[in-house]
Chains A and B, each alone.
With several copies, the nearest count.
Chain A
Amino acid sequence: MVEEISFALSEEQQMMQDTVRQLVQANVIDAIHQWDENRLLDKQAVQKFWELGIIQSMIPEEYGGYGMGSSPVLHTLVLEELAFGDMAFAVYAMLPALFVLPVVNLGSTEQKEKYLPEFCKESFVPATLAVNELSVGFDVWNCETKAEKKGNTYVLNGKKCFVPLADEAKHMIVIAHYEGNPHLFIVDKDTKGLSVGEREKNCGWWALPTFEVTFENCTIPEINKLGDETAFNWLIQRTRTAMAAIGTGISRASYEYSKKYAKERQQFGEPIASRQSIAFMIAEMAYEVDAMRLLTWKAASAIELGMDANRESFLAKIYAGEMTMKLTDYGVQILGGHGYIRDHPVERYYRNGRSIAICEAMAII
């Protein structure tokens, strides 16, 4: 029974949005350019986000968490605000959720007892998810990493790319094909057959360390399989919606920065915003950011209500993927030559913005 529709934030949602926005404003906006150039963000900013307790809230009290449950809608708000600051920061800060949420929702009691308590500590706990593969037109439903059952173990073989913090992650969830479907497997640090490569270099996400991870007859106990054959479908809806939320955040950042610039920058004696060619790009950015956000909210609403959100999450992601590309391109174009220089953040939005359409599952709601 779905009673009402609402486009307005609740007080709780508003408060969370404000909190994260302020955190980003105070800790990320001024620092991010240097983090990006240095290829590493300041972990203190991540720690500050950790201290908001968003990850810990997802964990039931019996495992040491705050037991607040998790709200997919609320998480899209959080992700948009984080990504408004920087995508690398957003992925980094929310990374433990990629491990925690699946365990909370799909895990056996045994798995919960084993893994959840350590995420209730005072310091950020690195854990990650290995999904993407460096193959042409990578299709997550037909990934090439395979799992094979041998006795009471699973043996993993394959190679993943774009695995954030793989070097320090205590645990990672690995997506591998098994019996015709992608499944989730938990692999702990130092498992034999798991090797983490050199840090990757990518078009964007410079402040985020990502790695190629290889599984060579990597053998894990039977009990490390997380959930059943429906688990991946559970996961992908949430990660696709999360990617859409990140796209919304990046696009909004590009929109707001170039809007401000267009009003201030004078050319031929008038602000460039007074030219329709610039003004109409800004108008389009304004409504496309909103459209992206509404599609994201709709997918998150469906997930929150426990409904199947295959369609909604897919549409939100592909829409955000196309539009983030378009809007971050507009941002650079509006700034012209200045937009091409790394001094202005539209350059970073452009590089990061290209990844929404290209990648799967860098975050979760």
Chain B
Amino acid sequence: MIQLVTPDYIKTLQDNMHKLAEGVLRPISRKYDEAEHEYPKELDMFRGIKVMARPKKKKEGESSTSGEEKKPKRGANLGMVVTIEEMCWGDAALLLSFPNAGLGNAAILAVANDEQLERFGNKWAAMAITEPGAGSDSGAITTTATRDGDYWILNGEKIFVTCADRSEVVVVWATVDKKAGKAGIKSFVVEKGTPGFTLEHLEHKLGIRASDTGTFVLSDCRIPYNNILGDPEVKMSTEGFKGVMKTFDNTRPLVASMATGIARAAVEFTREQYEKKGYAFDYKKNLSNVSAVEREWYLMDANVEAMRLLTWRAAWMADNNQFNNLEASMAKAKAGRYATLITQRCSELLGPVGYSTQYLAEKWMRDSKIMDIFEGTGQIQHLIIARNVLEMSSKELK
């Protein structure tokens, strides 16, 4: 039965996460924006907390329909997007800097075997996909992995790696067979300190400056054969690649909730500032008969709500084992785009207060912009949605 009022347990989660964001992240938000790339040591308190964990395997003989499982499904995905929205209300770049919560950790948890989990499960893992020659075109990867007995030899260059400096291992995407196209693409765990694995430099960015984005060069980098994640065999289909891409179905709602969190921060700040000037926001009147700030504010508030609901739906579907590829892209497309529009409109309404670094509004305007770019640009998301609803292939709709 349709029921979209926020349930009490989610409200409790929101409250708790909000306090954390307000108490821990907000106070250091500006500091680490200015100290670009410096590790926020205050985040060490999160190192012990298992942000990500693999669901425990059932022990033999354990009933698969225990009493607990009959309860209504309260899934991890919805909890995750709720948490992330609050954290990004605090600071998105700091969220991206949480220890042991890299994209690589998600990949390892998803597909590593027990032996790999043992070796890498407790290490901070970054993810290296993008190359200088290929942005949104993940299928065009040119980094190679060549087998040499008990080793793989990796060669190539990887850019836009989040947590490049702070991570302990990096999950690197490479092809084992260029002729095989997408089917040849596999992922490998490369440990920091491996000879031939160099962090070239860290990027200076428009926003999310606390996050250390970097470029790696792999030059005859030799890693153990067992560091390959998933099936080493090249199958003559793109099922494997699609499997890898599926990780993104899960990360897109996360990015959408990041966007929602930043946009909400800007919208709330704008409201507070104008309330101090004596404006009242009461959700009643006709949009024409209010001040310019109120009109804009109501529309932004509605859009933040739309971003959130699209995101929650995608997460809820994942929690209920529904295929959410389309809905994940919808959330990302909407939230990514509108986060930028909303934060910049807030700054405009605020005037000089929206431009000076004495306040955080200008920072949100910069941070939010990445949400329409990483994990697939807005253009890519629109393509995915359009192909899906039009039932057209990537050849029919380029």
Contacts and interface: CB of A to CB of B under 8 A. Distances in A.
Interface of A: 1-10, 12-13, 37, 73, 132-142, 161-162, 200-204, 236, 259, 262-263, 265-268, 271, 273-280, 282-284, 286-288, 290-292, 294-295, 297-298, 300-302, 305, 307, 310-311, 314-316, 318-319, 321-322, 325, 329, 332-333, 336-343, 347, 350-351, 354-355, 357-359
B306 A307 contact: no
A162 B372 contact: no
A202 B316 contact: no
Given A139-B286, A354-B344, A267 B137 contact: yes
Contacts of A140: 286
Nearest to B310: A291
Contacts of A297: 2, 4
A332 B206 contact: yes
A287 B385 contact: yes
Interface stretch (B115-123, B260-268, B361-369): B361-369
Given A137-B286, A138-B351, A342 B372 contact: no
B136 A267 contact: yes
Given A136-B353, A295-B305, A333-B372, A262 B330 contact: no
B352 A5 contact: no
Given A1-B8, A278-B379, A287-B330, A135 B353 contact: yes
B373 to A, nearest CB: 6
A13 B2 CA distance: 8
Shortest 7 CB-CB contacts between residues of A and residues of B: A10-B1, A203-B362, A294-B309, A287-B330, A279-B386, A137-B288, A283-B385
Contacts of A204: 355
Given A135-B351, A138-B351, A286-B330, A2 B382 contact: no
Contacts of B385: 283, 286-287
Contacts of A338: 135
Contacts of B353: 134-136, 138
B352 A282 contact: no
B355 A333 contact: no
B384 to A, nearest CB: 8
A302 B391 CA distance: 36
Given A202-B355, A311-B283, A137 B389 contact: no
Given A294-B313, A341-B205, A136 B389 contact: no
9 contacts: A7-B4, A135-B351, A203-B366, A283-B381, A297-B2, A315-B301, A318-B299, A333-B379, A347-B206
B24 interface: no
A238 to B, nearest CB: 14
Nearest to B390: A273
A341 B287 CA distance: 32
* B interface bracket (residues with beta carbon within 8 Å of A): 35 or more
Contacts of A341: 203-206, 213
A9 B205 contact: no
A279 B382 contact: yes
Contact of B1 (A13, A202, A279): A13
Given A259-B390, A290-B330, A301-B4, A318 B298 contact: yes
Contact of B3 (A4, A277, A315): A4
B149 interface: no
B310 A202 contact: no
A7 B298 contact: no
B351 A203 contact: no
A209 to B, nearest CB: 14
A8 B352 contact: no
Residue of B207, B355, B374 most packed against chain A (CB within 10 A) = B355
Contacts of B287: 318, 321, 357
Nearest to A286: B389
B6 A5 contact: yes
Contacts of B4: 5-7, 294, 297-298, 301
Contact of B357 (A203, A314, A315, A359): A203
Contact of A351 (B301, B366, B373): B366
Contacts of A271: 396
Given A202-B357, A203-B365, A279-B390, 20 more contacts: A2-B8, A8-B1, A9-B1, A133-B352, A137-B293, A162-B352, A200-B357, A204-B355, A263-B391, A263-B392, A267-B134, A287-B333, A290-B327, A292-B306, A294-B309, A298-B305, A333-B377, A337-B135, A350-B366, A358-B348
A358 B377 contact: no
A343 B2 CA distance: 37
B234 interface: no
Interface stretch (B189-197, B238-246, B273-281): B273-281
A267 B140 CA distance: 8
Contacts of B398: 268, 274-276
Contact of A202 (B204, B283, B340, B362): B362
A201 B347 CA distance: 16
Nearest to B208: A340
A204 B344 CA distance: 14
Contact of B273 (A136, A141, A315): A136
B2 A7 contact: yes
Given A1-B8, A134-B356, A315-B302, A274 B369 contact: no
A315 B351 contact: no
B70 interface: no
Nearest to A311: B283
A71 to B, nearest CB: 9
B378 interface: yes
B387 to A, nearest CB: 8
A358 B135 contact: no
Given A6-B1, A282-B390, A319-B302, A136 B206 contact: no
B110 interface: no
B329 to A, nearest CB: 8
Given A7-B317, A277-B382, A341-B205, A263 B390 contact: yes
Contact of A342 (B204, B282, B283, B317): B204
A6 B2 contact: yes
Nearest to A262: B390
B270 to A, nearest CB: 9
Nearest to A133: B352
A91 B377 CA distance: 34
Contacts of A202: 355-357, 362
B55 interface: no
B230 to A, nearest CB: 25
B382 A342 contact: no
B56 interface: no
A203 B143 CA distance: 37
